[in-house]
Amino acid sequence: MNGNAAVPAPVPAVDSCAEVNAGEREVLRQRGQREVFCGLTGIIWLHRKIQDAFFLVIGSRTCAHLIQSAAGVMIFAEPRFATAIIGERDLAGLADANDELDRVTDRLLARRPDIRLLFLVGSCPSEVIKLDLDKAAQRLSKRHAPSVRVLNYSGSGIETTFTQGEDACLASLVPCLPAANANESSLMVVGALADVVEDQLLRLFGDLGVGPVGFLPQRAANKLPPVGPKTRFLLAQPFLGDTARALEARGARHIQAPFPFGVEGTTAWLRAAADVWGVDEDRFNRVTAPARQRAGRALARYQDMLAGRRFFFFPDSQLEIPIARFLARELAMTPLEIGTPYLHRQHLAAELALLPEDAQLSEGQDVERQLDRCAALRPDITVCGLGLANPLEAQGLTTKWSIELLFTPIHGYEQAGDLAELFARPLQRNTALAV
Residues that bind ligand SF4 (CB under 6 A): 8-9, 38, 40, 59-60, 62-63, 66, 123-125, 155-157
Residue 57 DSSP SS3: strand
CB of 344 to ligand SF4, least distance (A): 22
- Report cis status (omega within 30 of 0) of the bond before 212: yes
Q: Determine the Cα–Cα distance for residues 365 and 367; give it in Å rounded to an integer.
A: 6
Are 230 and 182 contacting, i.e. CB atoms less than 8 angstroms apart? yes
Closer to ligand SF4 at the Cβ: 124 or 333? 124
Closest CB to ligand SF4: residue number: 157
Distance CA(155)–CA(214), nearest Å, equals 25
Closest to ligand SF4 by CB, 9 or 299? 9
Distance, in Å, from the CA atom of 269 to the CA atom of 190, rounded to the nearest integer, reads 13
* Minimum gap (Å) between residue 198 Cβ and ligand SF4: 29
Nearer to ligand SF4, 6 or 361 (CB): 6
- Give bridge partners of residue 117 from the DSSP assignment: 53, 149
Using the minimum distance from each CB to ligand SF4, give the nearer residue, 152 or 398: 152
Cα–Cα dist 35/18, whole Å? 19
Nearer to ligand SF4, 129 or 202 (CB): 129
As a whole number of angstroms, the distance between CA 215 and CA 303 comes to: 33
Residue 295: name the closest of 214, 207, 204 by CA.
204
Cβ distance to ligand SF4 smaller for residue 60 or 231: 60
Evaluate the CA torsion angle 95, 97, 102, 107 in order and state its sign.
Answer: positive
Q: How far is the CB of 128 from ligand SF4 (least distance, A)?
A: 8
Residue 158 CB, shortest distance to ligand SF4, in Å, is: 7
Alpha-carbon gap, residue 315 to 321, rounded angstroms: 10
Cβ-based nearer residue to ligand SF4, 7 or 255 = 7
Q: Is the dihedral of CA 363, 406, 288, 231 positive or negative?
A: positive
**Residue whose CB is less far from ligand SF4, 84 or 109:** 84
Shortest gap between Cβ of 295 and ligand SF4 (angstroms)? 37
Distance (Å, rounded) from C-alpha 334 to C-alpha 169? Answer: 35
Distance between CA atoms of residues 386 and 69, nearest Å:
13
CB of residue 8 to ligand SF4, shortest distance in Å: 6
Q: How far is the CB of 402 from ligand SF4 (least distance, A)?
A: 17
Supply the minimum distance, in Å, between the C-beta of residue 155 and ligand SF4: 6
H helix intervals, 56-211:
61-70, 94-111, 126-129, 133-144, 164-173, 195-208
